[in-house]
Amino acid sequence: MELLDRIKVSSDVKDIKKEDIDELCRQIRTFLVEVVTGNGGHLASNLGVVELTVALHRCLDMEKDHIIFDVGHQSYVHKILTGRKDSLATMGSIDGLGCFPDEEESRYDSFNTGHASTSVSAALGMEKALRMSGSDGKVVAVLGDGALGGGMVYEALNNAKDLDSDILIILNDNEMSISRNVGAMSRHLSKLKLRPSHIDTNLRIKHIVEKTPGGKGFIRLIQKTKRALKSFVGQKMFFEDLDIRYLGPVDGHDEHQLESIIKEALNVKGPKLLHVVTTKGKGYEKAERDPVKFHGLKNSYSKSRRLPENIMYNQLFGKLLTEMAEKDKNIVCVCPAMTEGSGLSEFCKVHKDRYFDVGICEQHAVTFSAGLARDKIKPVCVVYSSFLQRAYDQILHDIGLTNKNVVLCVDRAGVVDAYGKTHQGIYDIAYLSTIPNMRIFAPESEEDMEKLLYKAIYDIEGCVAVRYPYDQIHNDIKNLFVDVSEKREISLYSKNGDKAILCYGRMVAVAVEAADIAGADVVKLTDIYPLDYESLYEVLGKYKYVVSAEDVIYNGSVGQRLQSWLYENNKNDFKLICLNIDEDCEMKGCVEDILEENGMSKDAIARIIS
């Protein structure tokens, strides 16, 4: 890979001869496939933006200009071109690169991203700061068409002209976010691609003049605005209604064309949007054929990359919900663009008239679910933990305060492999426990999941969150536990010791291993908010030492709330030690690495409780 090996810093790509650019792009794709299929990460999205990223680096001066990648999972080519090629294989490891842009990792990563629809707002703010400091640096926001499902983009687009902005927004249109895109905006972009990419004004005028004696048509036409002309000859354009100059669509895999139009666009005053059409997974047949499967590959540093021995939580959830919906026609499922990842592929096929993929719109998903619940429908809203936090106001105002019977299924709860700080599900208990009328369940076994999902849908009058990790269910330990408090779902794995580990969800399996080492009991919860303190204290009161082990932050955790209750009620029969995720943790490596770093591996817990 002689051409690729010559690139050590961003400016080196400008030294590559024009006739060699296509070969450079081929070498980048070969390198990406080799590294990502071997080590894990986001493959299909990065294969789709090779030419676009190369063109941007050839047009910009990365010493003063900035690129902001929406979500950021498509930034690997940018990492390669900014001197991190030789470290790319370390992505996701403890001391390796992050899988998303990281300002601390490189000065060429202009803004930390990880969630959709934020790039335009960030770009506008950065550009305004540059102008206020006297810099003439340019700012480019690169976002996928899936991000257009999120309302925050429109808030930023609506504000761009008023800010007198000159930013360039590049719309990478591959008709995919993670699952296939849905909604009116996706259909609108498809229509744009079917009509000519530019209105050739000269040809239009010539055509009208030829049919208008005396050229009167030409005189009238020249007096009209560009927008009126486009309305006269074709469909009025959505972006230009927002005073954003629209360019495209153009072939996102023609680097020479991209380079030419980007150079011109950067010199045009005012905000502009370049519509680039790409193929997700470009150049790797398997990824082109199945871009969903190759969106994210399991990180090789994860011990769980091997095939799971047991069913995964999300797979079991999807199976159970599909079966329940077969018996109850009022059960519907709402999901913001995570059909496959949430285990809902079968549900959306079998019950397609009751499955609502609303796109990357978590706020809309929650309030839409609240509207469904208003008229006796049973909505189950499935959202990843780190994405659900975007809908806090809707959970509070539209579900909690009015006590709507909406079931929030919180996938990817707790720590997550390899993806860094932005994708960790360590905050949901903290924010959900502030919601009025909220109940929070944490199933650990298949039996738990079935029982709690049924309870959430049918037995609770109000809002319920069922949270579960991205992990396999350890059915081999469920028979170790005996219920000791039917009222609040407390069960015990007893070693007849004077110390206990308090836990729920994923941490139960870790706690059992730690208990076997240290000779401790394990107290398992499935109903974790609100806590029945008296019942819990009745179980824990016989111990000298109790360690609560939770893969969430301390604030709002079971341990923190129990500590407060013990203090307020002058209960000091046992010593309580809280193990939680440090908010300053780098969150690199696999789940096991993150737990180890936070003192929650089986050996670490055993040492503490011994």
Q: In this predicted structure, what is the pLDDT of residue 233?
A: 34
**pLDDT higher than threshold 50 for residue 154:** yes
Same domain, 222 and 149: no
CATH number of the domain that residue 324 is part of: 3.40.50.970
Q: Which residue has the tokens 């229509």?
A: 191
In order, the DSSP letters of 236-282 are PPTGGGGT-EEEEEEETT-HHHHHHHHHHHHTSSS-EEEEEE--TTT
The residues, any chain, with a CB within 8 Å of residue 495's CB and separated by 6 or more, are: 515, 516, 519, 520, 521
| 154 inside domain | yes
Q: In this predicted structure, what is the pLDDT of residue 232?
A: 32
pTM of the model: 0.78
Same domain, 161 and 62: yes
Question: What is the chain's alpha carbon radius of gyration, rounded to the nearest angstrom?
Answer: 27
Q: In this predicted structure, what is the pLDDT of residue 283?
A: 81
| 294 inside domain | no
| Overall average pLDDT of the 184-191 stretch | 48
| 490 inside domain | yes
| Separation between Cα atoms, residue 527 and residue 540, nearest integer Å | 16
| 295 inside domain | no
**Residues 383 and 338 sit within 8 Å (Cβ to Cβ):** yes
DSSP bridge partners of 549: 579
**Element of type H or E holding 141:** strand 139-144
**Annotated catalytic sites, by residue?**
280, 362, 390
192-206, 402-416, 477-491: least confidently modelled range: 192-206
Same domain, 358 and 433: yes
Q: In this predicted structure, what is the pLDDT of residue 144?
A: 87
CATH number of the domain that residue 520 is part of: 3.40.50.920
Residue 204 pLDDT class (50, 70, 90 cuts)? low
Same domain, 23 and 136: yes
Same domain, 225 and 279: no
Same domain, 393 and 479: no
**pLDDT higher than threshold 70 for residue 302:** no
Same domain, 458 and 489: no
| Separation between Cα atoms, residue 50 and residue 46, nearest integer Å | 7
- Of 405, 413, 410, which Cα lies nearest the Cα of 438? 405
**pLDDT higher than threshold 60 for residue 225:** no
Q: What mean pLDDT, rounded, does the chain reach?
A: 87
Q: In this predicted structure, what is the pLDDT of residue 587?
A: 87
| 145 inside domain | yes
Q: How many CB atoms lie within 10 A of CB 496?
A: 6
| Overall average pLDDT of the 128-133 stretch | 93
Which tokens sit at 493? 């794995």
| 420 inside domain | yes
Same domain, 407 and 436: yes
Higher pLDDT, 501 or 184: 501
**pLDDT higher than threshold 80 for residue 523:** yes
Same domain, 147 and 176: yes
Helices of type H across 344-454: 345-350, 362-373, 385-388, 392-394, 428-432, 446-454
| Separation between Cα atoms, residue 152 and residue 120, nearest integer Å | 9
**Residues 370 and 399 sit within 8 Å (Cβ to Cβ):** yes
**pLDDT higher than threshold 80 for residue 16:** yes
Task: Please say which residue of 439, 467, 495 terminates a domain.
Answer: 467
Same domain, 326 and 450: yes
Give the chain's domain count. Answer: 4
* Percent of the chain predicted with pLDDT > 90: 66
Q: In this predicted structure, what is the pLDDT of residue 234?
A: 31
| Overall average pLDDT of the 412-432 stretch | 91
**Element of type H or E holding 160:** helix 151-160
Higher pLDDT, 560 or 177: 560
Same domain, 205 and 188: no
Same domain, 414 and 375: yes
| 297 inside domain | no
| 296 inside domain | no
By residue range, what is the domain housing residue 427? 306-467
In order, the DSSP letters of 200-220 are -HHHHHHHHHHHSGGGHHHHH
